[in-house]
C-alpha cells in the first residue's frame, strides 16, 4: 500500500472549472487524512502563471475545460526541468485518450466516478516521481564521475608520455653517452695492452658494453619512438618488423596510402595501440600470421590489428585487472575515438581503433 507521511503537507494545484467537483475533491482528500493545500484555477493563463512562479507537489487536472484541454496545460509544464507529477482527474476522457496522455508523460489518470481512489493515486504518482528524480540524479552523478575519470585518464596518459620522453632523453644523453665513452676506453686498453689475458678481458667487456648500449637504445625507442617523426605508416611498419623479427611470426601491414596525415596526439594513440596489441599477441595469441591495416578514408582513422591465434575468452575482457585493454580504450577516448575488440576462442582476435579526423591539418608539435 502506497502511503504519504502523516506530517507531510502537500501543495496541490487543481485545474478544474467546476467548483462543486473541486469541493468534492477536497472533501475526499480531507477524509483520507491527507494534509494538503488545494488550490483551484480554471483558466490556462492563470495555470501558466502559477506554475511559472510557485512550486507545487502535484497537479490534478480535468481533461476538458472551456477553450483548452489538460494537454495544453501539460505541454506548458512538461518544458520545466523539475516539473511536478501531473494527474488527469476527469469524467469525460476515454481510455484511449488517457493512454495517449500517459505516453506523453502524464503520471496517471482517474475517473471522477472513482474519486475515492484519489489519495492512493496521488501517493503512487509522488512515489514514482521521487524514484524518477533519484534515478536522474544518480545518472547525472555517474556521468559527472565518468567525465572526471576521463579527464584524469587523459592527464595520466599525458603525464606518462612526458615521463617516458624525459627518461628517454636521460638514457640517450647520460647513460648512452657514458656507455659509449667507456666502450671506447675499454677498446683502447685492449689495443694498447700486450698482456693476452688483459686483451681477452677488454674484448669481453667491450662486448658486454655493446650489448648494454643496444639494450639502452631499445628501451629508448620504446619510451619515445623517433620513428614517429617519419609518419604513422612508417612507425607501424617498424613495429611490425620488430615483432616479426622477435617472434618469427609474419606480420603484414596494409595502408590506404603511403602516408597517413593525422595530428600528433592521434598518431601517438594509434602507435601505442598497435604496440600494445602486438605485445598481447606475442604473449598470449600464438598465431601463425598477423595483419595490420591502416586507413584514413571517409574522415576516420582506422587501425585494425588482426591475428589468427587462440582468441580471447569473453570473460577475460571483463576482468577487473584487464588493464592493458582498458588502457587502450581510455587512450582512444582521449582523442575522441573508440576501441572495438572482436574475438572468439580458437578463431583469433581483431583490435580496431577508430578516430574521427578533423578537417584541420595535423598539429606540428614535438612528439612526447
Q: Find, among 265, 284, 271, 273, the residue nearest to 327 by Cα.
A: 273
Which three cell numbers mark 15?
485545474
Strand pairing partners for 260? none
pLDDT at 284 over 80: yes
**What kind and span of H or E run contains 68?**
strand 68-69
Q: Please tell me the class of the 226-356 domain.
A: alpha beta
Compare 222 and 4 and report the one with higher pLDDT: 222
- Of 182-186, 243-247, 325-329, where does mean pLDDT reach its minimum? 325-329
pLDDT at 170 over 60: yes
- Of 48-62, 146-160, 315-329, where does mean pLDDT reach its minimum? 315-329
**Crossing angle for the helix pair 264-280 and 323-334, to the nearest 10 degrees:** 160
Say how far apart CA 256 and CA 3 lie, in whole Å. Answer: 66
| Buried residues in 58-96 as b, exposed as e (16+ CB within 10 A) | bbbbbbebeeebbbebbeebeeeeebbbbbbbbeebeee
Q: Please give the model's pTM, rounded to 2 decimal places.
A: 0.52
Residues 6+ apart with CB under 8 A from 78: 86, 104, 105
pLDDT at 343 over 70: yes
DSSP 8-state secondary structure symbol assigned to residue 139: H
Predicted local confidence at residue 76, as pLDDT = 94
Residues 254, 274 contacting (CB under 8 angstroms): no
Would strands 300-307 and 10-15 be described as parallel, antiparallel, or unpaired? unpaired
Predicted local confidence at residue 323, as pLDDT = 53
Residues 47, 72 contacting (CB under 8 angstroms): no
Predicted local confidence at residue 318, as pLDDT = 60
Sort residue 105 into left (φ over 0), alpha (ψ -120 to 50) or beta.
Answer: left
| Buried residues in 173-192 as b, exposed as e (16+ CB within 10 A) | eebbeebeeebeebbeebee
Mean pLDDT of the chain: 85
Exposed, middle or buried: residue 140 (CB in 10 Å: 0-12, 13-18, 19+)? exposed
Exposed, middle or buried: residue 103 (CB in 10 Å: 0-12, 13-18, 19+)? exposed
Predicted local confidence at residue 365, as pLDDT = 41
Say how far apart CA 305 and CA 303 lie, in whole Å. Answer: 7
pLDDT at 176 over 70: yes
pLDDT, average across residues 274-293: 92
pLDDT, average across residues 347-364: 76
pLDDT tens-digit series, residues 105-156: 899 988 888 899 999 999 999 999 989 889 988 998 888 887 787 777 767 7
- Of 22-31, 153-162, 190-199, 270-279, where does mean pLDDT reach its minimum? 153-162
Provide the 3-class DSSP secondary structure of residue 244. Answer: helix
Topology of domain 10-136, per CATH?
Rossmann fold (3.40.50)
Note every long-range contact of 313-320, with CB atoms under 8 Å and residues 24 or more positions apart, other chains counting. 313/345, 314/343, 317/341, 317/343
| Euclidean distance between the first and the last CA atom of the chain, given in angstroms as a whole number | 64
Tell me the percentage of the chain whose pLDDT exceeds 70: 91
Q: Residue length, the chain?
A: 368
Amino acid at each position: 500500500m502506497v502511503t504519504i507521511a502523516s506530517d507531510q503537507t502537500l501543495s496541490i494545484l487543481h485545474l478544474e472549472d467546476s467548483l462543486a467537483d473541486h469541493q468534492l475533491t477536497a472533501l475526499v482528500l480531507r477524509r483520507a487524512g491527507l494534509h494538503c493545500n488545494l488550490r483551484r484555477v480554471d483558466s490556462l493563463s492563470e495555470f501558466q502563471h502559477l506554475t511559472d512562479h510557485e512550486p507545487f507537489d502535484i497537479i490534478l487536472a480535468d481533461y476538458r475545460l472551456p477553450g483548452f484541454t489538460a494537454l495544453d496545460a501539460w505541454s506548458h509544464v512538461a518544458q520545466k526541468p523539475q516539473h511536478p507529477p501531473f494527474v488527469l482527474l476527469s469524467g469525460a476522457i476515454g481510455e484511449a485518450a488517457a493512454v495517449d496522455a500517459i505516453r506523453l508523460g502524464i503520471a496517471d489518470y482517474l475517473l471522477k466516478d472513482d474519486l475515492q481512489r484519489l489519495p492512493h493515486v496521488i501517493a503512487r504518482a509522488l512515489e514514482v516521481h521521487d524514484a524518477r528524480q533519484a534515478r536522474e540524479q544518480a545518472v547525472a552523478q555517474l556521468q559527472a564521475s565518468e567525465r572526471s575519470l576521463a579527464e584524469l585518464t587523459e592527464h595520466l596518459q599525458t603525464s606518462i608520455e612526458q615521463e617516458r620522453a624525459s627518461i628517454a632523453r636521460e638514457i640517450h644523453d647520460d647513460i648512452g653517452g657514458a656507455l659509449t665513452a667507456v666502450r671506447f676506453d675499454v677498446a683502447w686498453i685492449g689495443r694498447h695492452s700486450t698482456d693476452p689475458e688483459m686483451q681477452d678481458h677488454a674484448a669481453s667487456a667491450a662486448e658486454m658494453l655493446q650489448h648494454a648500449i643496444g639494450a639502452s637504445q631499445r628501451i629508448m625507442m620504446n619510451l619515445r619512438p623517433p620513428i614517429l617523426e617519419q609518419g604513422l605508416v612508417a612507425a607501424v611498419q617498424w613495429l611490425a618488423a620488430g615483432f616479426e623479427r622477435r617472434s618469427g611470426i609474419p606480420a603484414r601491414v596494409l595502408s590506404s596510402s603511403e602516408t597517413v596525415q593525422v595530428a600528433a596526439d592521434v598518431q601517438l594513440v594509434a602507435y601505442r595501440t598497435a604496440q600494445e596489441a602486438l605485445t598481447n599477441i606475442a604473449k598470449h595469441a600464438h598465431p601463425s600470421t598477423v595483419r595490420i591495416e591502416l586507413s584514413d578514408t571517409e574522415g576516420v582513422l582506422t587501425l585494425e590489428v588482426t591475428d589468427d591465434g587462440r582468441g580471447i575468452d569473453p570473460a577475460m575482457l571483463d576482468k577487473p585487472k584487464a588493464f592493458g585493454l582498458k588502457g587502450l580504450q581510455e587512450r582512444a577516448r582521449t582523442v575522441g575515438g573508440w576501441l572495438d575488440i572482436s574475438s572468439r576462442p580458437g578463431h583469433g582476435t581483431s583490435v580496431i581503433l577508430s578516430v574521427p579526423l578533423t578537417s584541420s591539418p595535423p598539429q606540428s608539435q614535438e612528439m612526447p
